[in-house]
Amino acid sequence: MSSTPSPAESATVATDGPRDFIRQIVREDLASGKHAAIHTRFPPEPNGYLHIGHAKAICLSFGIAREFGGWCNLRLDDTNPGKEDPEFVQGIKDDVRWLGFEWHDLRHASDYFDVFYRAALKLIADGVAYVDDLSADEMREYRGTLTAPGRNSPYRDRSVEENLDLFQRMRAGEFADGSRTLRAKIDMASGNINLRDPALYRIRKVTHQNTGDTWPIYPMYDFAHALSDAMEGITHSLCTLEFEDHRPLYDWCVDKVDLSNHPELWQSVVAAGLEARPAKPRQIEFSRLNLSYCITSKRKLAQLVAEGFVDGWDDPRMNTLRGMRRRGFTPAGLRLLIERVGISKQNSVIDYAILENCIREDLEASAPRRMGVLDPLRLVITNLAEGHAETLTFSNHPKDESFGTREVPFARELWIEREDFAEVPPKGWKRLVPGGEVRLRGVGIVKCEEVVKDAAGNIAELRCTLDPESRAGLPGADRKVKGTIHWVSATHAVAAELRVYDRLFNVAAPDAEDDGQPWTSHVNPEAKRVVHGWIEPAAAQADAEQRYQFERLGYFVADRMEHRADAPVFNRVVTLRDTWAK
């Protein structure tokens, strides 16, 4: 756990950091003495895996706490049993840590169920909450519309005694699911529909992952979330713009329960394992991270998995954090994206290419180089002896000597990329042609003397000669030729499964459905292509999640689940440059 910084220490933290409007509010609150320390939280519901949209919320809440010497809690909003699973809880914890953050406290909304229940009893006793018998359909009818006010429920004026009796019987499990709700008594004519007597509790006789069958009633999100923030001493409750209209209800719940002025309630807070540090949290909204060619609906992500469009929640085509991790995206690259996008109140869609460029930028500096061939074509150097083999020394990174060097085997027979040879070259071609020359990376200049074809007329082999004077350290090493190609030794290379990934959708707004087609019709059939190629031996020895730049091909990662040295599996993270528009 973090130690509590003094007000002076907190106020001087992060003076040179980002200057978005939320951080400016935090700076002003520290400078004025409103808060001695900053306390934020990240409160996901464990009903699915986190996606790219959550990355922004994680980086903001945890990042602000870190920058200003404060704390950030990870709180699992487990108020909706039946849809939640311990597997998702573990996944959330893994993803937060993978992004580079650690929480001050790990809490669950279910830790506070007793507090929520006692707070609801207080609201009933204060005459600002009542038990309603309207069905869900009737409640929607009574609620009104954006242009028409709602109507009071016929049960709104029940006495305090009757409401207390009914609510306690709800708690005892006496009534059927959906037959009664506890509602706040606010204003059915309010212009903000969220204040038209919103539900605070509903009956759900469903086993809960943490509390089992102890509770047949469960608090609604707005009620539980606001009180959890207050109990945990959250100073700045950061959430996305769709909660802006919920802020008056958030404040109503905090003010009406008024935890700090009710010792009995605070005793239940302490019993839940929290220090008695009452707070009046401030909710601040910011725009979501919306990426083109992506969806962030948990329901739709689950549909992709259930209907077999992808191979699971961690499929590298998915924009879940698990999928992005398996794809080989880096935490630093995602954090760079969040930093570049910035924090604002203006909703917008960020081009997917910006994400790819952030990943490239990180990998350009951090990924060692290796050689591999996706679509192999045999090249035989005829003026080398049969069985010729030698070892060459290559740098692991052309711009950073600290990466060191490696040994690369070279032999008479090589694999090159099939696309690096053209029998009839297009205009501007700089690679190998019949009778033409090209430089083999790190070796020297070869000339294509003969093209060998199979019975079907397909090119099966190139027979070339190596200019011995063009090898490193010899007088002809500086001789100019138009192109340089990469290779691997056919004698020493290791067979590998190379999974070439691209964007999951082939339109920028897949769930808009403005073309009359279902959103699933926009799944890109070319988003995954499996090829069986060859890689140099040093690449095969990679640890899981080791990332490389396969020269001229792109950035690849050793698959975190299936890669083995004797059966390598690599996923393409991203191309060397943006080729999507082309």
Please name the CATH architecture into which domain 7-108+223-286 falls: 3-Layer(aba) Sandwich (3.40)
The one-letter code for the residue type at 290 is N
475 CB-contact burial (10 Å; exposed 0-12 / middle 13-18 / buried 19+): exposed
The one-letter code for the residue type at 322 is R
Q: Is 555 annotated as contributing to ligand binding?
A: no
Q: Is 53 annotated as contributing to ligand binding?
A: yes
Catalytic pick among 282, 298, 335, 412: 298
In the block, residue with structure tokens 């992808």: 310
Q: Is 289 annotated as contributing to ligand binding?
A: yes
Catalytic pick among 288, 369, 418, 447: 288
Q: H-helix or E-strand containing 291?
A: strand 290-291
Q: Is 77 annotated as contributing to ligand binding?
A: yes
Q: Is 108 annotated as contributing to ligand binding?
A: no
Beta-bridged to residue 41, according to DSSP, are 73
Question: Is the CATH number of domain 372-486 3.30.497.10?
Answer: no
Enumerate residues 6+ apart whose C-beta is below 8 A from 99.
Answer: 55, 58, 59, 62, 321, 331, 334, 335
Instruction: Determine the topology of domain 287-369+499-511+544-582 in CATH.
Output: Glutamyl-tRNA Synthetase; domain 2 (1.10.1160)
Contact 277, 233 (CB under 8 A): yes
Per the structure block, which two tokens stand in for 545? 């999640």
Q: Is 46 annotated as contributing to ligand binding?
A: yes
Catalytic pick among 45, 162, 413, 545: 45
Beta-bridged to residue 484, according to DSSP, are 439
Tell me: the pLDDT tens digits for 173-222?
Answer: 999 999 999 999 999 999 999 999 999 999 999 999 899 999 999 999 99
Neighbours of 152 (CB within 10 A): 14
Question: How much is the pLDDT for 426?
Answer: 93
The yes-or-no answer on residue 418 being catalytic is no
Question: How much is the pLDDT for 580?
Answer: 62
What is the domain partition of the chain in residue ranges? 7-108+223-286, 113-221, 287-369+499-511+544-582, 372-486
Question: How much is the pLDDT for 430?
Answer: 94
Question: How much is the pLDDT for 85?
Answer: 86
Contact 111, 273 (CB under 8 A): yes
The yes-or-no answer on residue 45 being catalytic is yes
Please name the CATH architecture into which domain 113-221 falls: Alpha-Beta Complex (3.90)
Q: How many CA atoms lie within 13 A of 316 on its CB side?
A: 28
The one-letter code for the residue type at 269 is V
Q: Is 250 annotated as contributing to ligand binding?
A: no
Question: How much is the pLDDT for 581?
Answer: 60
Q: Is 381 annotated as contributing to ligand binding?
A: no
The yes-or-no answer on residue 547 being catalytic is no
Point out the residues of the chain with pLDDT beneath 70. Answer: 1-17, 276-278, 580-582
Question: How much is the pLDDT for 475?
Answer: 84
Question: How much is the pLDDT for 490?
Answer: 97
Tell me: the pLDDT tens digits for 522-578?
Answer: 999 999 999 999 999 999 999 999 999 999 999 999 999 999 999 999 999 999 987
Enumerate residues 6+ apart whose C-beta is below 8 A from 84.
Answer: 45, 46, 47, 78, 209
Q: 345 — phi, psi (to 5°)?
A: -105, 10
